[in-house]
Amino acid sequence: MTICAYCSLLCEFTESKSLACSLRDRILHQYSTIANPIVPRIDGKPTTVGEAIELANRLLESSQTRSITGRIRSVEATRAVLAAASRIGAFVAPTKSVDAFKSIDAIQRSGMVSASMSEVRFRSDCIVLVGDDRLLDSFPRLPQVLLEQPKSRLLPSPRRIIAMGEFSTAAMAKLRETGSEVCSIRIALDRIPQALFQWSRCNRETQTNSQNSVSRSLAEARYLSFVWSAALLDMPHADLWIERLYQWIEHRNIENRCVGFPLASDYVTFQQVCTWTTGFPGRVHIDGEAFTYDPTLSSAVPGIANRDSTVRDSAVTVQVDELFDKHDIPNDCESPTILIATHFDERSESPRVFIPCAIPGVDHRATFFRVDGTVAVEAFDKTPAEEKVTLLSVAAILARLGVSSSC
């Protein structure tokens, strides 16, 4: 059994049963087309790993403000990030912390009612997908791993799927391939929580089930699950949207089981490890054994814009990117000074130091949390060519940062 580590669904597959996934196929193709070896660079010029790490440590030692950010995916890399932050005294916030804190802010205020992926898959008789086509683009195998009705005595009737939002005809066709009973309601995303409360109120007043298939499915569901992705809620104050939806879910639990199932993205592993290590879900400054939590900050270098030029120029950011793709690396700050990444984009602005790293779960074994944050899985997919595996892991590189400096 092999685990695919290219998204947080962590799908399983075997040699006899291939994994048909557009996301995995695209990334594997990009991996296989790399012709030149990836080498460390200083100011855009090739160098050695030792020289790159030596300069990185000098930059960190001479800086006044330090931060670590980026797309941090694995348990091993997260542990190394937190350890390095403790040594150098750094602020830690992944690039997707904005998406993560949409849910975190809502949960901290009002709580949540949720479930594991297995519980939703094997118990839920009605699943509501909230969003649009981007949900299936981000998680191509979501219909297979969550929506197809398994053989379970707990699901005596055909499962119902409600696509609530702005799904296209093509997306609806993919959902019908699961064999479930599928219906839809086209509605602007920002109106969904309000519409659910209005439906509940009307349903109580009439004391009868509407003939509308969506209304009937909601009313008859014994185990109702709402599925969405915070990363795809690009509306203003998305945390209030999530909070309001959880309030409706809690209200629904008075009569029947109802849960929210937010699809966490690549930040899920970082959030889990950081929380059990520091007590905080990120956006934390770590200096030795001292932790300072500031959930209002999303920039990799807090307060830099408001400081004088001397302090701003002495700020150093370590940018980690464990994902493999050819898109520009998203930054929460200006171009990173020290970049630890799986590839180097010649078209982008060169960082002061670039140190290449291996791809976790592909070039070496690594541990990830599944999309629901409840299961940790070790992944190792040796599909790419053996000879390309010559790079250090992120954890191995970070273990050498801040060790010899006086940060």
Cβ neighbors of 359 (< 8 A, separation 6 or more) are 31, 322, 324, 342
Q: What does the pLDDT read at residue 330?
A: 46
Quick: pLDDT tens for 47-79: 999 999 999 999 999 999 999 999 999 999 999
pLDDT at 305 over 60: no
Looking at per-residue confidence, does 270 or 403 come out higher?
A: 270
Q: What does the pLDDT read at residue 303?
A: 43
Q: What is the DSSP letter of 323?
A: -
Question: In the chain, pLDDT over 90 holds for what percent of residues?
Answer: 57
Q: What does the pLDDT read at residue 219?
A: 86
Looking at per-residue confidence, does 310 or 232 come out higher?
A: 232
Q: What does the pLDDT read at residue 257?
A: 93
With beta carbons less than 8 A apart as the criterion, state whether 70 and 95 touch: yes
Closest CA to 255 of 227, 228, 218, 215: 218
Quick: pLDDT tens for 146-202: 998 887 777 767 889 999 999 999 999 999 999 889 999 999 999 999 999 988 888
Predicted confidence band of residue 250 (pLDDT cuts 50, 70, 90): very high
Q: What does the pLDDT read at residue 300?
A: 47
pLDDT at 317 over 90: yes
The average pLDDT across 329-358 equals 76
Structure tokens at 255: 């009569």
CB atoms within 10 A of CB 207: 6
Quick: pLDDT tens for 86-133: 999 999 999 878 888 999 999 999 899 999 999 999 999 999 999 999
Q: What does the pLDDT read at residue 255?
A: 83
Looking at per-residue confidence, does 95 or 134 come out higher?
A: 134
pLDDT at 307 over 80: no
> 152: helix, coil or strand?
coil
The reply to whether CATH 3.40.50.740 applies to domain 27-96+268-398 is: yes
pLDDT at 406 over 70: no
In the chain, CATH 3.40.50.740 covers 27-96+268-398
Q: Which of 7-16, 207-216, 299-308, 325-334 has the lowest mean pLDDT?
A: 299-308
Q: What does the pLDDT read at residue 320?
A: 94
Q: What does the pLDDT read at residue 382?
A: 64
Cβ neighbors of 338 (< 8 A, separation 6 or more) are 56, 59, 60, 316, 317, 318, 319, 351, 352, 353, 355
How far is the C-alpha of 362 from the C-alpha of 2, rounded, in Å?
A: 11
Global confidence as pTM: 0.88
The reply to whether CATH 3.30.70 applies to domain 101-262 is: no
What average pLDDT does the chain have? 85
Strand segments, DSSP code E, in 124-202 are: 126-132, 160-166, 181-186
Q: How many CA atoms lie within 13 A of 373 on its CB side?
A: 20
